[in-house]
Every structure is written in C-alpha cells, then in structure tokens.
C-alpha cells in the first residue's frame, strides 16, 4: 500500500512537471499567435484606412465630372459649384417676379382686360408655367440629363424675354403709336402672349432641372455634405427671396415709371450674362447621367404585381427579390410595410428561383427597390393634393392682393408712390425671416432635443406652414372688409371715378403678406425638400416638377374657384368677383379660402401621421466611419 501510494505521488509530481514544461513551451507560441493576430489586424486596419481615404477622396454616388470620370470630392460640387448655379436662378427669379407680380396691372391698364378676365389670364399663364416642368423634368431624367436641359431651356427663356423687349421697342409691335390708347393693336397682343408663353416653355426645363442639379452637388452618403444639403434648400430660398425683392421693387418700379421696354431689356441682358456664368462653371459640377424613362419600371411593377396577385406573402420580407449591392450603381431601398399588394411583384416563384432568365426579366420579377419606388410615387399623391389649398392662397398674392394695393394710399413722399406690385416684397421679407430663424435657431435646438438630423420631419415642417395659410386668409378677409367700408364712404368711389386712392395706407396689407411669407418658409421650402428627397433617385428633376406643378394646379383651381363662386353669387344679385375691386366682395372669398384651408389642415394631419418615409440602405464613407455616424433620416 505504501509502495502504491509512493508510486501515485511520484506520478502526480511527474505529471505536474510535465504540465509545467508543456505550459512553458506553449507560452511563446501563444505570444507569437497574438503578435501575428495583431499584425494581421494592423494590416487590415491599414487597408480599411486606405479604402476610407479613397472613399473620402472620390465621390461614389453615381455622378461623374464634366469629362465623364468619377468626381474628385475636393474640386467638384458643394457650395463652390452652387455659386455658379445660383446666379442664373437669381436672374430667373428676378425676371419671373418682376413680370408676374405686375402682369395683372399690365393686362388691365394696357391690354384693357377687366379684373375677372385679367385674374383668369394670370392664373392660366401661371398654371401653364408651373405645369411645363413635368415635361422638362421627365425629359431631363430620362434622356438629356439635367445640365443640357438647363442650358437649352435658359436660351428659350432668353428668347421669350427678347420677344417681350421687341414688343415694346419695335414701332409696329407696340400697343399704340404713342401714349395711352383704348385698345391695343392685335399684333401686340399676339407677340406679347407669344413672349410670355415662350418664357413658360423655358421655365419648363429650367426650374425642375436647375434646383435638382444644384442639389446633386451634395453627396447624400457623406455626413458633412449631407448636413450642408439640409441647409441648402433653406439658403437657396433665402437667395431667391433676395432676387424676388429686387424684382418686385426695382423691376416693377421701372415698369411703372420708366417703361416695360427698359425693364425687359435689363432682364434680357441679366439673363444672358448669367447663362454665360453657368457655362463657365462646367469643370466644377457633378453630373448625373440620364437613366431612361422612369415610367417604365413603375409600369413593370404594376403588371408583375397583378400577374402574381394570387401568390401568398412571404413570411419574411428578406425573401423578396433584390439585386446585390455590388451589381448596382444606385442606392437600394429597404422594404416598408405599406401598400403590400405591390410586394407581390418581388415574390420569387419556384421556377424563378431556378431560372436566371426570369430573375433578369423585369416584366416577370421586380426588385424590392423598384417596388419601393412605386410606393413612394403613390404615397406622394395625397400629400400633393392636400398642398393644393395652400397653393391657392399663394397665387392670390400675385392677383387680388396686388389689385388691393392699387386702390390704397401708396404715397411715401409727395413725389414717390410705391408700385402696387412692390408690396409683394413683404412676403419675401416674411420668408427670409422664417428661413433664417428655422435654419439658425430652430434646427440646431431641435436637433439636440430630438436627435433628428433635420430637427423636425419634413411633413411636420409643411404642416406648420399650413397653419399660417389659415391665419393669413383670415387676416386678409378682415383687412378687405375694412377697405370696402372706407370705399363705400368715399364720395369719389361712389361717383365711380377711376384710379381713386382710398384714405387707407397700403401697409394695411403688410400682415397678410408677412404671415403668408412666414408660411412659405415652412410649407414651400418643405415641399421642395420633400419632392426632391422622397422621390426615386432617378426622378429628382421630375420630383421638383411635381412641386412646381402643385402651384400650377393651384392656379387652375383658383381660376375654377373664381368662376364657380362668381356664377353662384351672381344669382343672388351681387357677385363676389366684380369688374373692379370696389364692386367685389373679396372678403367673403378670403373667408371661403380660410375655411377650405382649415378643413384641409385636418385631413393633412391624418395623412402625415400615417406616412412612411423613404428607407434608404446607406453607404458609409470615411467621415461616417471615423465618427461612427450612421443614422437614417426621415
């Protein structure tokens, strides 16, 4: 037993000794493995750093430079390129508002149309001008590209301004031989409206493509550029308001006190100079290549969804068909739960899982990204419709608001009268105040409070502006009621004398312009951002066209509303829309608009609460990796 115990003890000592020796022998191996792993990690880290540096150096968002190469981030895009682009937009806004805001005065004083006909003429022209971008935006996205379309349409715009100038200076095209006349020459009317609708045609390619072209100068997948882009829409409109103010003050003053010919000549020269400036910036721009018709993929999704309507939904959205990231140049969209019927277009059938041909036939199988793009377009329709009442309020500023101002005391000094259309500049002041406060105060504060990069969501911003429209039209109704009361007590008005200025300052109109301008800073800027950001990437020019068509639709709807209201109220003896301002009851018309906008606001809130934003599968670049900043924005 003792011998056995001794042997056991010996074996234990030997075992321990062997274990110790093995352990000591293994330690260098462990250290060596750790060092190898660290070296490998360093190598991988170095490779990742190089890859990140490459991502930071070049712009990989499907854009190209003017030579068709991948753009260099440091020398293209962002604000350096934007300065060239914004100059021509300044020129276009200067021309547009210098002509549009005073157009109703020209039609009543020179063409001798009555108030109702002139308001309809302005609304029809504004409607066509705002609808033309749907054609221009589609052609640019599908076939020409944005920059060529901007250049071509700017030249057409310049042709329209040149025709307008000729209609004032060429003796045979002037309204009359000399001075005022009761009826202008027919040839003048023809050339004048030809010039105006040439400007509309030019606007059709200019407006949707220029704004989306400038937004293309910012990379959505780069954190710093993305934040700059959020401010871009605010400061774009800030600059435009400056052009607007110059248009409705200096340009309108020249039209009223010098001549329309001189004003048109100045606008033509300014446009020509800014077209040259735009062309000079070619080396600094980032360009997006056209991707073919955006309507075809949407039609394919609908066709495939109908064909597969009897198939069951997959248990997991991950089972739906999608192309790998490395096979596509563009950004992929993640699945959303709304409009599930369309999801069936991306359901794989058994034979399609085996057939490579079926997977590449878009008429037999759609991808999740194409399905989601179709959902985005369908989701936009209710937002577009509920924004129309706000647009109706906006178009009143260029028609009835201006004519209100023409009847009021516009005297600043014994020798200086404010042109009626210049009061429109107060709306620009309101918008500038709104945009500045929003971008410099509200966004930083709300960004810290909510963690949302935008501060608040786009639809909340739009909704805030809709509230301002209700208040603005209510104030306009109260001011118009006071104006009518003074007019009914004025003996000159009672004797139906023309061009009578009432004993009421034009600055009584300031509140309605300012309030609506504040609303523009929320709703109109928000709508621009919404229709650019929430459309498919291949349809961004068309997205801005959707926004512009909203104002066009509002112009046509306003004309329809004027006709309908006038027809209904004339049956009671006195129509709300008379031949002049003092025989009308615009206060009732404004109350009607306030009521329409209040009901619309309630509908909009219900829709906005159920809205699903674009779900983008983002790509990270160096700054994102360094900061660990990978958020998705609503």
The band of 7, judged by pLDDT with boundaries at 50, 70 and 90, is very low
Q: Please give the residue that has the higher pLDDT: either 319 or 250.
A: 250
Residue 573's pLDDT is 62
How confident is the model at residue 12, as a pLDDT? 46
Are residue 347 and residue 380 in the same domain, yes or no? Answer: no
Classify residue 285 as exposed, middle or buried by CB count within 10 Å of its CB (0-12, 13-18, 19+). Answer: buried
Residue 316: inside a domain, yes or no? yes
Q: What is the dihedral of CA 91, 96, 99, 102, to 10 degrees?
A: -120
**Same domain assignment for residues 336 and 275:** no
The answer to whether the beta carbons of residues 544 and 528 sit under 8 Å apart is yes
Please give the span between the terminal C-alpha atoms of the chain, in angstroms, as a whole number: 83
Domain stops at, among 370, 388, 421 = 370
Same domain flag for 152 and 251? yes
State whether 529 and 609 are in the same domain. Answer: yes
Task: Say yes or no to pLDDT of 254 above 80.
Answer: yes
With a threshold of 0.75, does the pTM exceed it?
A: no
Q: What is the pLDDT of residue 182?
A: 73
* Nearest-angstrom CA–CA distance, 533 and 614: 8
- pLDDT exceeds 70 at position 161: yes
The enclosing H or E element of 287 equals strand 287-288
Please report where in the chains the tokens 């068709």 appear, as a residue.
68
66, part of any domain? no
Task: Decide if pLDDT at 54 tops 70.
Answer: no
Bridge partners of 63?
Answer: 288
* Residue after which a domain boundary falls, among 336, 370, 404: 370
Where is average pLDDT lowest: 39-43, 369-373, 463-467, 507-511? Answer: 39-43
**What burial class does residue 520 get, using C-beta atoms within 10 Å of its C-beta: 0-12 exposed, 13-18 middle, 19+ buried?**
buried
Q: Please give the pLDDT value at position 623.
A: 43
pLDDT digits (tens, 9 = 90+) for 303-352: 888 888 888 887 777 777 777 665 566 678 888 888 888 888 888 776 65
When mean pLDDT is compared over 68-82, 439-453, 459-473, 532-546, the highest value belongs to 459-473
**461 & 492 share domain:** yes
Angle separating helix axes 425-437 and 510-533, nearest 10 degrees: 60
Do 241 and 282 fall into the same domain? yes
What pLDDT sits at residue 621?
46
Percentage with pLDDT > 70 across the chain: 82
Predicted confidence at residue 157, as pLDDT, reads 93
Which segments of 325-456 are extended strands (E)? 411-413, 416-417
- The domain that contains 276 carries what CATH number? 1.20.1250.20
Could you tell me whether strands 63-64 and 287-288 are parallel, antiparallel, or unpaired per DSSP bridges? antiparallel
Q: What percentage of the chain reaches a pLDDT higher than 90?
A: 14
For residue 145 the two structure tokens come to 């590209």
Residue in 203, 102, 87 with CA at minimum distance from that of residue 152: 203
Give the mean pLDDT of 600-628: 71
**pLDDT, tens digit (0-9, with 9 covering 90-100), for 391-416:** 999 888 877 887 888 888 888 877 77
- Asked whether residue 207 falls in the same domain as residue 336, the answer is no
**333: which strand partners?**
616
**DSSP-based three-state secondary structure for 78:** helix
In a domain? residue 430: yes
**What CA–CA distance (Å, rounded) separates 106 from 621?**
55
Among the residue ranges 1-10, 359-368, 583-592, the one predicted with the least confidence is 1-10
**DSSP-based three-state secondary structure for 102:** helix
pLDDT at 125 over 50: yes
Domain assignment present for 87: yes
In a domain? residue 578: yes
Confidence of residue 38 (pLDDT cuts 50, 70, 90): low
Q: Are residues 393 and 525 in the same domain?
A: yes
Q: Are 622 and 52 in contact (CB under 8 A)?
A: yes
In a shared domain, residues 395 and 456? yes
Domain count for the chain, please give it: 2
Query: Comparing 473 with 634, which gets the higher pLDDT?
Result: 473
> Which segment of 315-324, 428-437, 511-520, 605-614 scores lowest on mean pLDDT?
315-324
Q: Mind giving me the DSSP string for 297-344?
A: HHHHHHHHHHHTTTSPPPSSGGGS----GGG-SS--B---SS-GGGGG
Residues 328 and 467 in one domain: no
- Of 183-192, 373-382, 419-428, the one with minimum mean pLDDT is 419-428
316 and 454 belong to one structural domain: no
Please compute Rg for the chain using Cα positions. Answer: 32
pLDDT at residue 219 is higher than 60? yes
- Say which range, 28-32, 87-91, 470-474, 600-604, has the weakest mean pLDDT: 28-32
Whether 536 and 581 map to the same domain: the answer is: yes
Tokens of 269: 């020269």
Contact 309, 157 (CB under 8 A): no
Burial class (CB in 10 A: 0-12, 13-18, 19+), 435: buried
Q: Looking at per-residue confidence, does 378 or 53 come out higher?
A: 378
Query: 152 pLDDT band (50/70/90 cuts)?
Result: very high
Tell me how far apart the alpha carbons of residues 544 and 133 are, in angstroms, rounded to a whole number.
Answer: 8
List the structure tokens of 288.
């997006």
351: buried, middle or exposed (CB in 10 Å: 19+, 13-18, 0-12)? Answer: exposed
Q: Are 345 and 301 in contact (CB under 8 A)?
A: yes
Domain end call among 351, 370, 389:
370
**Using 50, 70 and 90 to split pLDDT, how confident is the model at 140?**
confident
Q: Is residue 65 part of a domain?
A: no
Q: Which structural domain, as residue segments, surrounds residue 495?
A: 78-291+371-627
Q: Which residue is it, tokens 């699903």?
A: 612
- Assign 3-class secondary structure to 24-75: HHHHHHHHHHHHHHHHHHHHHHHHHHHHHHHHHHECCCCEECCCCCCCECCC
Q: Whole-number mean pLDDT of the chain? A: 79
Q: Is the pLDDT of residue 133 over 70?
A: yes
pLDDT of residue 632 exceeding 80: no
Cβ 521 vs Cβ 435: under 8 Å: yes
Would residue 241 count as lying in a domain?
A: yes
Contact (CB, 8 A) for 532 and 240? no
**Looking at the domain assignment, is residue 69 inside a domain?**
no
Convert the pLDDT of each residue in 560-611 to its tens digit: 888 888 888 876 667 787 777 777 788 889 999 999 999 999 999 999 988 8
């Amino acid at each position: 037993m003792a011998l056995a115990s001794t042997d056991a003890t010996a074996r234990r000592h030997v075992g321990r000794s062997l274990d110790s020796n093995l352990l000591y022998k293994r330690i260098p191996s462990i250290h060596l493995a750790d060092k190898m792993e660290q070296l490998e990690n360093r190598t991988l880290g170095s490779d990742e750093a190089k890859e990140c540096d490459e991502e930071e150096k070049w712009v990989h968002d499907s854009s190209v430079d003017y030579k068709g190469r991948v753009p260099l981030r440091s020398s293209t895009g962002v604000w350096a390129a934007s300065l060239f682009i914004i100059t021509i937009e300044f020129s276009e806004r200067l021309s547009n508002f210098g002509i549009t805001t005073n157009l109703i005065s020209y039609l009543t004083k020179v063409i001798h149309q009555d108030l109702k006909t002139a308001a309809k003429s302005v609304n029809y022209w504004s409607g066509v001008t705002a609808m033309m971008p749907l054609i221009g935006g589609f052609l640019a996205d599908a076939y020409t590209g944005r920059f060529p379309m901007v250049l071509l349409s700017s030249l057409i715009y310049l042709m329209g301004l040149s025709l307008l100038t000729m209609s004032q200076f060429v003796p045979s095209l002037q309204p009359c031989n000399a001075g005022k006349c009761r009826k202008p020459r027919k040839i003048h009317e023809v050339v004048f409206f030809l010039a105006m609708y040439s400007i509309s045609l030019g606007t059709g390619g200019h407006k949707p493509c220029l704004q989306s072209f400038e937004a293309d100068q910012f990379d959505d997948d780069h954190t710093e550029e993305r934040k700059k882009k959020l401010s871009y829409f605010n400061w774009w409109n800030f600059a435009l308001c400056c052009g607007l103010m110059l248009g409705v003050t200096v340009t309108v003053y020249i039209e009223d006190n010098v001549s329309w010919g001189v004003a048109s000549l100045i606008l033509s020269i300014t446009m020509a100079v800014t077209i040259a400036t735009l062309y000079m910036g070619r080396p600094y721009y980032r360009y997006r290549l056209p991707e073919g018709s955006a309507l075809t993929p949407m039609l394919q999704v609908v066709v495939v969804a109908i064909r597969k309507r009897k198939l069951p939904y997959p248990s997991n959205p991950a089972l739906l068909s999608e192309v790998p990231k490395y096979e596509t140049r563009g950004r992929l969209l993640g699945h959303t739960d709304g409009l599930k019927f369309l999801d069936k277009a991306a359901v794989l059938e058994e034979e399609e899982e085996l057939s490579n041909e079926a997977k590449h036939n878009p008429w037999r199988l759609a991808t999740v990204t194409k399905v989601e793009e179709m959902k985005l377009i369908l989701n936009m329709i209710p937002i577009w419709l509920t924004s129309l009442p706000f647009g109706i309020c906006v178009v009143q500023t260029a028609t009835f608001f201006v004519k209100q101002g023409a009847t009021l005391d516009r005297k600043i000094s014994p020798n200086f009268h404010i042109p009626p259309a210049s009061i429109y500049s107060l709306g620009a002041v309101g918008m500038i105040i709104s945009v500045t406060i929003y971008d410099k105060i509200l966004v930083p504060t709300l960004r810290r409070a909510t963690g949302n990069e935008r501060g608040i969501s786009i639809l909340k911003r739009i909704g805030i502006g809709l509230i301002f429209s209700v208040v603005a039209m209510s104030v306009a109704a109260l001011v118009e009621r006071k104006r009518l009361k003074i007019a009914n007590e004025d003996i000159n008005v009672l004797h139906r004398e023309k061009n009578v200025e009432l004993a009421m300052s034009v600055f009584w109109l300031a509140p309605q312009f300012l309030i609506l301008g504040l609303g523009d800073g929320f709703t109109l800027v928000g709508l621009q951002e919404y229709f650019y950001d929430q459309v498919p990437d291949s349809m961004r020019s068309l997205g801005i066209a959707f926004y512009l068509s909203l104002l066009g639709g509002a112009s046509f709807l306003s004309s329809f509303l004027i006709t309908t209201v006038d027809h209904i109220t004339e049956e009671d003896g006195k129509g709300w829309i008379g031949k002049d301002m003092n025989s009308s009851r615009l206060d009732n018309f404004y109350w009607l608009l306030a009521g329409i906008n209040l009901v619309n606001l309630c509908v909009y809130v219900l829709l906005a609460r159920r809205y699903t934003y674009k779900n983008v599968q983002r790509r990270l670049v160096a700054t994102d990796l360094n900061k660990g900043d990978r958020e998705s924005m609503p």
